[in-house]
Structure 1
Amino acid sequence: MKKSSIIGMIIIAIAIGVIVSTYADSSTYGSFSDAQETQKELHVVGKLIKNKEMVYNPQQDANYFSFYMKDNKGKECKVVFTGSKPQDFERSEQIVLTGQMENGSFQANKILMKCPSKYTQDKIEVTEVKAQVKS
């Protein structure tokens, strides 16, 4: 075999390895029930339960925010976010959380909010908030 053929095959093998490892690490969409069954990171889509308690006290701990959400399958769950409360959180029409279930509550490390736009009624405003990394 020629040297160029061997190098080409090595490059292809490396590319396949990178693609497979990226696909294996990517999180998927699910529900709170799916999150209880698996320890993998999931995206959970749902709506804020506005009549239940939201806890955010920046004087006590600025990186703790908890609330209750109902996923698209109707299951309610407490959500704990290690970051500050996003601005206009109560206005969100839909929430996409990224995280996993721990100790009976969903530990979110990212919140994506879909809110009605302030300027046009036809468009939806999307805001993404990431959790603070504790050192």
Structure 2
Amino acid sequence: MKKSSIFGLVVIAIAIAVIISVYSNTSTYGSFTEARQTESELHVVGKLNKQKVLYYDATKDANYFSFYMQDDKGSECKVVFTGTKPEDFEKSEQIVLTGKMIGNEFHASNILMKCPSKYTQNKLETQEFKAKPASI
């Protein structure tokens, strides 16, 4: 075999190994029930339970934030995030957590929030004030 053929095969093998390693480390979406059954990281989508207490005390521990969230399947769980409380967290419409269950708590390593759009009000106003068609 030529050296260029061997080099090409090595490059292809490395590319395949990189692709496999990237796809094996991706976490999947699930619920709190599924998170209890697995030890790998999951993405859990849900809404903040505003009736229960949010705990964040920056003077005691600025890297501890806990709250209760209900996932899309209706299961509720206490969530612990080791980081600062995100700004406007209470206003979020939807939350996506990345993390895993430890005991009865979901320990989140990342929080993504879907906040209400500031453009929704303008969109509604433009729909309300549509021009009437001219009569002939």
Q: Match of 2:101?
A: 101
Q: Match of 1:4?
A: 4
Structure holding more strand per residue? 1
Contiguous gaps of at least 5 residues in structure 2: 123-136
Q: Structure 1 length normalisation: TM-score? A: 0.87
Q: Match of 1:83?
A: 83
Structure holding more helix per residue? 2
Amino acid at match of 1:23: Y
C-alpha RMSD of matched pairs (Å): 1.3
Which is higher, the Rg of structure 1 or of structure 2? 2
1:5 alignment partner, SS class: helix
Percent identity of equivalent pairs: 65
Shift of 1:122: 7.1
Amino acid at match of 1:74: G
Contiguous gaps of at least 5 residues in structure 1: 124-135
Aligned residues: 122
Amino acid at match of 2:120: Q
- Structure 1 runs (4+) greater than 4 angstroms displaced: none
> Do the aligned partners of residues 30 and 122 (structure 1) sit closer, same or farther apart at CA in structure 2, a change above 3 Å counting?
farther
> Do the aligned partners of residues 122 and 23 (structure 1) sit closer, same or farther apart at CA in structure 2, a change above 3 Å counting?
farther
In structure 2, distance between residues paired with 1:37 and 1:24: 19
In structure 1, distance between residues paired with 2:121 and 2:71: 24
Amino acid at match of 2:72: N
